Structure 1
Amino acid sequence: MISEIYGNIASLSTENWISLISGFGGAALGAIIGGASSLLLALLANRASQKTIAKQQKKNEQAIATQTVLKTIQVVNGIYTIRSEIDESIPKDHGGNIHRDDYWKFVLSRSGFGLGIPVFDASDFAPFLSKKAGDLAMRIMLLQQRYQSADAGFQEYSKKRSALQEIIEDYTVFDQRSGQHVTSVPPQLERRFAVRSQEINGLILQIYDDSGKSLEDGKKILSEAVAYCRDRYGENSFSVKIADAHQL
């Protein structure tokens, strides 16, 4: 049987040998080309997939950056609200020349602060962890803590002022000519009144001064954060404007 096969092979003409080899060669070449094509298509598909993933990742990062900037605007606006609350309490008909020792007489107790203070977590700062962003993440966190401190301080001031009012309310009358309340502190309460009034006045002055510094820092932080995001994501793709913080 084997001898017959060898005999048949030996009897093949040169022409038939070429056809036979060409057949095998063509099949092998086709397999190589097919394999190369499949590999090329796989590489192209993988590259396209990587581009899609990278594009989506940048889009997600931009959304986080936008959220962080909006939270920062909330923080700055909150600081502005506390600062302006004190500013607007000072009577303008005095030409703004109220002595700093008397601020507590005009800045009334307030409730409602402490609501909606933005909370940041580590994921909020992922877009800002680069050399170009510098220490923006740290400064935003510190600004939020300063806002919390000012807010808590104003709440404490309000409680202490209300407590002082309870002590002197029996000795206070409304003067219609001046449009203000006038208090005549009896001798037995003078020392207690002086200590309490100095304490709450020192507290409101500290809040006022600190909020002024925080507000200026907040403006700088917002300007840098928006500029960084526009540089990173494109001028037209980052829609948050500094004007969204109404005091800037």
Structure 2
Amino acid sequence: MRAALFVTCVNDALYPRTGIAVVRLLERLGVTVDFPAAQTCCGQPQYNTGYRHEAEPLVRRTAEAFAGHPYVVTPSGSCAAMIREHYPRIGRRAAAEGRGGELAALARELAPRVYELTEFLVDVLGVTDVGAYFPHTVTYHPSCHGLRGLGLGDRPRRLLTAVRGLELVELPGAEECCGFGGTFAVKNPDVSAAMGTDKTAAAAATGARVLCGADNSCLAHLDGLLRRARSPLRTLHLAEILAATEEEPLS
């Protein structure tokens, strides 16, 4: 099986280890991973800020970059939701406003081929035990896009539960937003920080060593708050936990 990795801007610029972990994990499971070099931003910042027309070239570029790949896997619920939910809307609107139906066709064809990482592992590969080993106490924060947008449900928790050595502890108020919300954090910094502080306090109270998530944008927000509070709790993307084994531990 072959799959293309859509690494996303946040991971490419700030968390390259997450992208490396995804490749390592998928290759261990027998997947040949392609990385289309033409990929760039999916257009989510522009779209969420109201610059809908400015997002259209990025829809086209992303669709063309991943053309011909039967599966497109991304370690980000927000970017997966952008492509699956909003690309078709952007395409339909462009067509309705007389800018041609090409964009609508590109978006409609790409959307069903895009999978958030845990969806791909559980639904496509049919695995929950990926052979990982991570002997630490972990609590899991489900990001809003994955939880509400994609409906990931218990997939991430099922994968974490199957990791040898890992103790998963419940996060109080897990389904509450962490306050990041992309441009929400920029437009409403005080509210965003207050929400994040509630989330990090709840995570720290669990006694876990690691606060895990499936979207590094949320984790960047929470990590900043934890560092300011000088908390020993560290944040870590789910992919990095799943990629760790006894032979190749997380460095």
- TM-score, normalization by structure 2: 0.24
Q: Which has the higher helix share?
A: 1
Looking at CA atoms only, which structure, 1 or 2, has the larger radius of gyration? 1
Q: Which has the higher contact order (CA 8 A, sep 6+)?
A: 1
Q: Which has the higher strand share?
A: 2
